[in-house]
Amino acid sequence: MGRQAIVFSKSLGEIAGALNSSLTVAEKLDCLVQVASRALGVRGCSLMLLDAKRKKLIHVATHGLSDRYVRAGVVEADKSLPEIMEGKTAAVTDTESDPRIQFGEMARREHIASILGVPVMCRGRIVGSLRAYNRIRREFTSAEEEYLITVANLAATVLESSGTLVSAEGSGSTEPKSAPHRRAVRSPVRAVSFAHPSEEDFARLLDFYQIEWVYEPRSFMLEWEGDKVTEMFTPDFYLPGLDLYIEMTTLKPGLTSQKNRKVRRLRELYPDTKIKLLARRDYDRLLAKYGHGPLAGAKTEGVGRILFSADQIQMRVRQLAKEISRDYEGRRILLVGVLRGMLCFMADLMRYLEVPADVDFMAISYYGSGDGGEAVHITKDLDVKPNGRDVVLVEDIVDTGMTLSFVLAHLEARHPATLAVCTLLDKKVRRLTDVPLAYVGFEVPDEFLVGYGLDYREEYRNLPFIALIRQQGRQGDIGG
């Protein structure tokens, strides 16, 4: 037996031992790509899985690659080594001249000269790709190809046995469920085995907003002694479209400080990685907005402290109208509002405008509305065509940004000439996705708000001011 064969044999034994351990799925996959990289003597390896539409490849485990390269852009399955999606092996000996390299310039900066890629298959269906990246130009041997195929088969075994890959109901096919998807987690076929029910609830919320997600996508090394890793951190979710990791702190309150420490350490070691810690308090409020969670049933004792008086609101709305009128001088704009919280604000705003404006409204379904839907639905679309128009979307409050992101995408698909957002309230502390805000009335704290169109269970909309809601034993906010 040659030296390379011995190395391959020992590495497969090491992988098998890790797969038979108590490590999490993410840790097993990370171990797999690390060991494969070492055995092949290459710069690094990456395991990527197809999304539900089988168009994109999402990195779920990487080793030896910079975050900059991993996040270079959406990897298109039909553009990046496309023969892999036909069940074939793909070998690139020179990335600079090979047209199958989607991000050639980024590969050059990463000092990647050659690539070997093989399909990851489960029950005869291609679910992803395993790739090895090398610093120098070279031709890969048949033994190296066979080894990488074996490692890919081990990866598929991990994914399937852990419940990450399940047969799609009624289709006899297999989908990569740890990859981003839009299947309802409420369906009879569980897509992922979540560690806690709150994670499943959060996944449902992401599915509702058609936000792609990966559960426990990768593990970050935080501490090590020599070559031995002593501490790793695996965030709960990754949102590829937002390039954002989410770690939830919804189990024991005592774990919050520990998770905060890990998040701080991750930011120190991986400064280009975006991560948000979603605390129980934040998560409850997020769910309460859509009728779920303990705060959804909270009893109110009346209105608390007034945050903005009626005079303050009217003065600021006049200022916003003046700014919009100046920016759109000589043009006729289309004001668009999403029913119903913006009614008071939009009515006053249009009265103060000094430019001609048309007005139209949209309505969307909300989480838990009982329509059986699995995503945001437009229940009332625009009557006025926005094509070629200067559109100003009027919002009462922007918090997580998820609803606004959905509405903006819907409007942009109608090809307006320009599209801007005017919001009365901006709750930046709750933001999960960056959204462009051209006009902002007030920045508000992370409190539940009512009044001037904002409601709690359809109450308090008609208040002329904006206030905090008073709850039993505490003061908080339920609105926006």
Q: How many residues are present in the chain?
A: 480
List alpha helices for 20-141, DSSP H.
Answer: 25-40, 67-70, 104-109
DSSP 428: G
Burial class of 301 by CB neighbour count within 10 A (0 to 12, 13 to 18, 19+)? exposed
Domains identified in the chain and CATH numbers:
1-170 (3.30.450.40), 180-297 (3.40.960), 304-476 (3.40.50.2020)
- Angle at Cα 136 formed by Cα 135 and Cα 138, nearest 5°? 125
Instruction: Look at the pTM and tell me if it is higher than 0.75.
Output: no
Residue 202, pLDDT > 70, answer yes
Helix (H, G, I), strand (E, B) or coil at 141: coil
Question: What digits encode the pLDDT tens for the residues 143-181?
Answer: 999 999 999 999 999 887 765 543 322 233 333 333 333
Q: pLDDT of 257-267, one tens digit each?
A: 888 889 999 99
Q: Does the pLDDT of residue 270 top 60, yes or no?
A: yes
Report how far residue 445's alpha carbon sits from residue 425's, in angstroms, rounded to the nearest whole number: 10
The pLDDT value given to residue 175:
34
Asked about 399 being catalytic, the answer comes back as yes
Nearest CA to 422 out of 442, 440, 407 is that of 440
Tell whether omega for the bond before 340 is within 30 degrees of 0, i.e. cis. yes
Query: Which uninterrupted H or E stretch holds 317?
Result: helix 310-327
Amino acid 344: pLDDT: 94
Residue at token pair 């037996």: 1
What residue type is 124 in one-letter code? Answer: G
pLDDT at 118 over 90: yes
Catalytic residue (choose from 30, 399, 455, 477)? 399
128 vs 476: which has the higher pLDDT: 128
User: Which amino acid belongs to residue 43?
Assistant: R
Strand, helix or coil at 471? Answer: strand
What is the C-alpha separation between 253 and 259, in angstroms, rounded?
10
Task: Give the amino acid at 219.
Answer: S
- Residues 412-448 have pLDDT tens digits of 999 999 999 999 999 998 888 889 999 999 999 888 8
